[in-house]
Amino acid sequence: MQKPSNPQGTRDFGPEIMRKREYILDTIKAVYKKYGFEPIETPSLEKLETLEGKYGEEGDKLLYKIRSNKELAAEVTSEQAEGLKKLLPGAWIAGESKLGLRYDLTVPFARFVVQHRNDITFPFRRYQIQNVWRADRPQKGRFREFTQCDADCIGSNSLLHEADLIQIYNEVFVGLGLPNAVLKVNHRKFLEALVDELKIDFPVGKFTSTLDKLDKIGEDGVIKELTAYGIDEGKCKQLFAIIDNAELTTENLAVFAKAFNNNPIAQNAIDDLAKVLTFLGDNKLDIRVELDLSLARGLDYYTGCIFEAIVPDSGMGSVSGGGRYDDLTGVFGLKDVSGVGISFGIDRIYEIIEAAELWPDNLHTNQSILLCHFDEASLVYAVQLASRLRKDGLQAIVFPDLKRINKQFDFANKIGVKYALVVGDTEMSTGNLTVKNLIKGEQQTLSYNEALAYLKN
Amino acid sequence: MQKPSNPQGTRDFGPEIMRKREYILDTIKAVYKKYGFEPIETPSLEKLETLEGKYGEEGDKLLYKIRSNKELAAEVTSEQAEGLKKLLPGAWIAGESKLGLRYDLTVPFARFVVQHRNDITFPFRRYQIQNVWRADRPQKGRFREFTQCDADCIGSNSLLHEADLIQIYNEVFVGLGLPNAVLKVNHRKFLEALVDELKIDFPVGKFTSTLDKLDKIGEDGVIKELTAYGIDEGKCKQLFAIIDNAELTTENLAVFAKAFNNNPIAQNAIDDLAKVLTFLGDNKLDIRVELDLSLARGLDYYTGCIFEAIVPDSGMGSVSGGGRYDDLTGVFGLKDVSGVGISFGIDRIYEIIEAAELWPDNLHTNQSILLCHFDEASLVYAVQLASRLRKDGLQAIVFPDLKRINKQFDFANKIGVKYALVVGDTEMSTGNLTVKNLIKGEQQTLSYNEALAYLKN
């Protein structure tokens, strides 16, 4: 007899975890909708040619691939083919393209946009909440199958999208009870300006990948690495004077402009961020939005604003990232389509809320009412009463078997319902209901309508 | 440049299709919840040993399988291994078990129940809405990736679950505007009784697989096939006198008992169905529930009541099936756990609602309001107005670019919004809002609060 288990790096979600996950997803979805983002979905399986070469060498290695017998056979000698037939019997689909499981939602979205370009009205705001797969080494908090939660707007350069996304961050974190979250903002032009201004003569990418290590190796570590590349130590210190995180305000942008000696490349970034601030107006945000010039997040990808959200003191790294990219769809043949988007990592958010015990009370409770009974007749009465309660908008379960009432209450406690209705001879003859609050241990007898009002509350 | 496309047998869902799909899923989910079913999710990937051997030979062939390089290497000669390395570079996960994509939700549920048996309170009511994959030949209405929508109750023999499921069918079909749906009900004991009563001396399975063809080959065809097996033609006609579909009522159950000459095996079925009717009481159903003795639906699986729902005149076959099974979890080492469940096929339901144009009006409309403007100043004003509207509970989008107002209205029409707000100098100086109903082509000027009340309506 096989001992059942799920594959390493994957998870089963029971009812309580599902309630908590749905609470996070529903909160994010409601905010996305408020800003006019509409849902799309793409298949879990993509053609391998759609996925390969989009995630760098490391990413390619983490793709889950599926091939057909027929393809394999075409690539091998006839002797090898015989061996393969024995090796791979069964269901490799004949004649199908090479397939892979979706690695993220961004590349499938780019494919979607190009493939359906004639049916899409640009600018197109979509959100997409689906699972992705990575054949990574599983470890704490890193899974092989996990959920991404993306919103992107594609087909417009307007910086009002960046302002919308900042407000979305604010509403999501406030909605989830995490108003202490910090949104770090950077701009690619700042990174280019740093290289320009500091007269560093190596690629921006190399520079920023060092800068990206700030959290891990500290200021000293970064300076050590940069001086090893031949950058003057004085310049490095000058750099840190600039990247000291500051709140994103008009005043601080002026300080930055000065620190950059009014460098014209930096000025592009400052103009963009000033515009975002104009759109935000005096709309008060709860979360702190700060400029962080060390933020790079895959620079080759982003071309304008770059976002990363953290929850301080949570022990977790980034819980969301995003930014503007100018050529998402180019690889599929649609050039010059600017987009900007963000993605929430709901597993980390889940862990933070769980650790801080910030779940709303009702997530711990099964929202149904349990109907208990004493004998065959009251069981039948309870089943029909349950129908009536459901018609009146309540969730109801009837304890299905003829067992002692204490066993029925045990069941109620175990499945986490808050209220039980006890149906016996008295209730059947009077039509009244006996309502037991299982948390307080109190019991009261009410008319049907009184009970309905009480239970709906 | 590659022309992007999704794999054969898979689909992209844009916003309007998503709204329609979510309407179906939300309707079903709300009914499941009303009856106390709680959500679970299992991983898309299962160990191959969990899946294989559970779906028959045909099913096994349709499994999407994933293997690692390391496993393949272990099974071949070193020469073959060299060839394989060249054949399968990249991401085959080293050291991972053989994996397959989930083929249905029932087997993963059985694994879940056995694996988590110590954390589950029985009877356990779960619903599960997730995608499944079958490497089938794609054709109209048959996909390689599709969504199943299951509810099962496991760990109780009580027939109140059958009564609950019949009411769930009723509420789902009424909720989806399909009250003309027909729920066919059968019972495995009826099929056994037919074999017993008609003195047919071959297996029940063979008999019912012929009976199952009734829709395709008609009464004459079935009789022809049965007589070819050696059954007396008179007995066959006797059979059809019994299986003539009748509404499930106490009176008709009595007629059945008589038709079966009070056969004791048939009596088991009649007792069960009478009990279900008792639980239903005088709860009026909108859909027709009928006894259909030709209904088998994978007899080897079901042990009690068997369900199948159709929508007459839709040109579609079954849109949902289910029944009671007595040993779902036995294969994973947990014996004698009775369960009963149903599953909705949402793709067919989608097609039926689409063909009959039964979608609620609001699914055709983007629920957001579009804010239009004339210049830079009114654009900034519009962005901040949108923030205020969102705080007051509306969904809002600002047209992001500086374009002529007619272009903005074109955009509004294309994305399907119903209302546009026009912001110009007058609106900015008075604080009033100009609301345009794009469907009626009417325009009116309202105070902020008046507009809010109007737009929320």
pLDDT of residue A243: 66
Considering only CB atoms, B11 lies closest to which of A12, A43, A415, namely A43
Per residue in B174-196, pLDDT (tens digit) is: 999 999 999 999 999 988 888 88
User: Can you tell me the distance from the alpha carbon of B128 to that of B151, in angstroms, rounded to the nearest whole number?
Assistant: 7
Per residue in A60-97, pLDDT (tens digit) is: 778 887 755 444 445 556 665 555 555 554 433 444 45
Average pLDDT, chain A: 88
Mean pLDDT of B379-399: 96
User: Can you tell me the distance from the alpha carbon of A22 to that of B142, in angstroms, rounded to the nearest whole number?
Assistant: 29
Considering only CB atoms, B34 lies closest to which of A332, A390, A401, namely A390
Confidence of residue B93 (pLDDT cuts 50, 70, 90): very low
- In chain A, the residue whose alpha carbon lies closest to the alpha carbon of B279 is A380
For residue B193, the distance in angstroms to the closest alpha carbon of chain A comes to 28
Contact at CB, B43 and A333, closer than 8 angstroms: no
Q: Which of A99, A160, A373, A380 to mutate to test the interface with B (most CBs of B within 10 A)?
A: A160
Helix (H) or strand (E) holding A238: helix A233-243
Contact at CB, B36 and A395, closer than 8 angstroms: yes
For residue B315, the distance in angstroms to the closest alpha carbon of chain A comes to 27
Q: Which of A38, A92, A107, A347 to mutate to test the interface with B (most CBs of B within 10 A)?
A: A38
Q: Which of A21, A37, A44, A50 to mutate to test the interface with B (most CBs of B within 10 A)?
A: A44
More confident residue, B218 or A4: A4
Considering only CB atoms, A65 lies closest to which of B90, B366, B384, namely B90
Its ipTM equals 0.90
With a cut of 80, say whether residue B96 has pLDDT above it: no
Read off the tokens for A245.
């995180």
Q: Which of B364, B381, B395, B407 to mutate to test the interface with A (most CBs of A within 10 A)?
A: B395
Read off the tokens for B49.
């040993």
Residues of A whose CB is below 8 A from B283? 384, 387
Percent of chain B with pLDDT over 70: 89
Could you say which DSSP state residue A4 is in?
Answer: P
Per residue in B119-140, pLDDT (tens digit) is: 999 999 999 999 999 988 888 8
pLDDT of residue A2: 64
More confident residue, A180 or A330: A180
With a cut of 80, say whether residue B84 has pLDDT above it: no
More confident residue, A169 or A363: A169
With a cut of 90, say whether residue A450 has pLDDT above it: yes
Contact at CB, A281 and B384, closer than 8 angstroms: yes
Considering only CB atoms, A49 lies closest to which of B2, B19, B43, namely B2
For residue B194, the distance in angstroms to the closest alpha carbon of chain A comes to 31
Contact at CB, A43 and B332, closer than 8 angstroms: no
pLDDT of residue A70: 45
pLDDT of residue A137: 80
Residues of A whose CB is below 8 A from B44? 10, 44, 101, 131, 133, 145
Cα angle for residues A8, A11, A17 (degrees, 5° grid):
160
With a cut of 60, say whether residue A330 has pLDDT above it: yes
Contact at CB, B119 and A14, closer than 8 angstroms: yes
With a cut of 50, say whether residue A423 has pLDDT above it: yes
Residues of A whose CB is below 8 A from B62? 91
CATH topology of domain A365-456: Rossmann fold (3.40.50)
Contact at CB, A91 and B63, closer than 8 angstroms: yes
Mean pLDDT of A360-374: 90
Residues of B whose CB is below 8 A from A161? 400
pLDDT of residue B121: 94
Considering only CB atoms, B36 lies closest to which of A34, A133, A397, namely A397
For residue B430, the distance in angstroms to the closest alpha carbon of chain A comes to 19
pLDDT of residue A81: 53
User: Can you tell me the distance from the alpha carbon of B306 to that of B186, in angstroms, rounded to the nearest whole number?
Assistant: 5
With a cut of 80, say whether residue B37 has pLDDT above it: yes
In chain A, CATH 3.30.930.10 covers 15-355
CATH label, A15-355, candidates 2.30.40.10, 3.40.640.10, 3.30.930.10, 3.40.50.1470: 3.30.930.10
Would you call B307 exposed, middle or buried from its count of C-beta atoms within 10 A (0-12, 13-18, 19+)? Answer: buried
More confident residue, A301 or B174: B174
- In chain A, the residue whose alpha carbon lies closest to the alpha carbon of B285 is A387
DSSP lists the bridge partners of residue B216 as none
User: Can you tell me the distance from the alpha carbon of A421 to that of A368, in angstroms, rounded to the nearest whole number?
Assistant: 11
Average pLDDT, chain B: 88
With a cut of 90, say whether residue A223 has pLDDT above it: no
For residue B175, the distance in angstroms to the closest alpha carbon of chain A comes to 12
pLDDT of residue A94: 41
Q: A166-175, A307-316, A319-328, B87-96 — which is least confidently predicted?
A: B87-96
CB pairs under 8 A between A and B: 285
Mean pLDDT of A241-261: 83
Residues of A whose CB is below 8 A from B38? 15, 18-19, 366
Contact at CB, A92 and B65, closer than 8 angstroms: yes
Task: Give every CB contact of residue B330 below 8 A, 6+ residues apart in sequence.
Answer: B336, B337
Residues of A whose CB is below 8 A from B33? 367-368, 395
| Residue B271, amino acid | D
Is residue B139 within 8 Å of B252, Cβ to Cβ?
A: no
In chain A, CATH 3.40.50.800 covers 365-456
Say how many C-beta atoms besides its own lie within 10 A of residue A278's C-beta.
17
pLDDT of residue A62: 81
CA distances from B451 to A102, A283, A352, B352, B431 (A): 44, 21, 40, 38, 11
For residue A275, the distance in angstroms to the closest alpha carbon of chain B comes to 10
pLDDT of residue A92: 39
Q: A43-47, A191-195, B149-153, B398-402 — which is least confidently predicted?
A: A191-195
- In chain B, the residue whose alpha carbon lies closest to the alpha carbon of A9 is B43
Say how many C-beta atoms besides its own lie within 10 A of residue A136's C-beta.
15
- In chain A, the residue whose alpha carbon lies closest to the alpha carbon of B392 is A34
Per residue in A27-73, pLDDT (tens digit) is: 999 999 999 999 999 999 999 889 988 888 778 778 887 755 444 44
Considering only CB atoms, B46 lies closest to which of A6, A35, A390, namely A6
Mean pLDDT of B382-406: 95
Contact at CB, A401 and B156, closer than 8 angstroms: yes
Confidence of residue B372 (pLDDT cuts 50, 70, 90): very high
Per residue in A192-209, pLDDT (tens digit) is: 888 887 777 667 777 777
Contact at CB, B19 and A12, closer than 8 angstroms: no
Is residue B246 within 8 Å of B290, Cβ to Cβ?
A: yes
A156: left (phi over 0), alpha (psi -120 to 50) or beta: beta
